[in-house]
Structure 1
């Protein structure tokens, strides 16, 4: 049986998904919502707090609670960096690097990155944010030879821009998106509950000459990120 505050969380989120509460709209007071749902204000506040942590709602001091507009959009065409996507939408991108190691590639990395025998990869694990809200957990694999002359900071911060500055021309990407549930590790890193629905993305990015330069496994919080298609 669900805890009462989880039920409240689900009901409010469902109303937002149905358009009953629009983006940017102020919610009724906690007292009014508690009466509407037939729960205590403490239970109501727990459900609201969880939605705030997930980025669905936003509290404004002295003003109230609003439906947040924290969902970042990515147009699925061409090769664009997460930082650029976030900046274009008026948000501040940032990252927390969890690990950055030079290591032997696994079979999938060898295959997708077209690596030769004896080559190494740089495997980078990080959480990426938009306006300090965690949006995605990702593990990126990059051929070590490609970035051997670059500083770690140049790779972890705006990697695509660094490639361009070094004379590389970016080409196409291949992306596969699927749904899954957050495990304990992902839930903690993205500030969501375990088994929360997330969007998983596998992406291989190529230079203009056809050479693969990055293989990324990403896990996005659905409420904070969406993909959309645009045809010419």
Structure 2
């Protein structure tokens, strides 16, 4: 087994065995020492793999008792107050962002209007997928004015805190964002990217980011798997804090 990301391969193998029913809910998995011998890997690598399966909600670990297959469905990761980056870093630090595409295009009329582009102005469009082990959690499709993307490279796009890192490079500050949220069914493209069934429940958000003085610089459409992610927002209204969950 290759050393690079060997823990992902181990986690994927164990996950497949759990999903196939080789290990059933409530059953104890082999101990770390047995897994080390089985995969010919170090204990550090095995622990990394088990941590990944824990973050995916497939197993539970107990001190002095061992590791067990969860008896219930995988837990959902909670996106708190629309902050996907901070929520993932807190609940699933092993998540990996992958770049699907990045290119300069002539924007649609809708995107051009949202970014307030001139008649012949182009934009950069990029798509990214967030994966936990081998399981896609969500993906986004974003557009930014091409003139602001000269200092944008792949390493920057792959950062979970991409927006703040990008704006720091441009020496810009966020003024505000406008966000819409809706529940949708997965179309063929979304189902293929997220490895889910057609018409599966998805959470879609559209966010338009503005910098001072009220200038739109980014439009982001994000698609989250409804079976793996939940949205929790707190709205302050007339002195009362209301929690909304999906």
Q: TM-score scaled to structure 1, two decimals?
A: 0.66
**Which of 68, 71, 78 is 1:63 aligned to?**
68
CA distance in 2, matches of 1:226, 1:205: 22
Deviation at 1:139? 0.9
**Which of 133, 142, 145 is 1:143 aligned to?**
145
Deviation at 1:169? 0.7
**Which of 168, 174, 196 is 1:192 aligned to?**
196
Deviation at 1:215? 0.8
Q: TM-score scaled to structure 2, two decimals?
A: 0.63
1:33-56, Cα deviation, whole Å (9 max, x unpaired): xxxxxxxxxxxxxxxxxxxx9x98
Deviation at 1:99? 0.8
How many residue pairs are counted as aligned between the two chains? 179
Once superposed, which parts of structure 1, at least 4 consecutive aligned residues long, lie more than 6 Å away?
none
Contact 2:76 2:230 in 1 (8 A): no
CA distance in 1, matches of 2:133, 2:75: 11
1:118-169, Cα deviation, whole Å (9 max, x unpaired): 2111100121235654221221111111121333322342321323432211
CA distance in 2, matches of 1:208, 1:165: 13
Q: Alpha carbon RMSD of aligned pairs, Å?
A: 2.8
- Is 1:182 matched with 2:186? yes
The residue number in structure 1 matching 2:8 is: none
Stretches of structure 1 that go unaligned for 5 or more consecutive residues are: 1-25, 30-52
Distance 1:207 1:110, change over 3 A: same
Deviation at 1:102? 0.6
Stretches of structure 2 that go unaligned for 5 or more consecutive residues are: 1-23, 28-52, 61-65, 237-246
CA distance in 1, matches of 2:96, 2:109: 31
Contact 2:98 2:158 in 1 (8 A): no
Distance 1:83 1:92, change over 3 A: farther
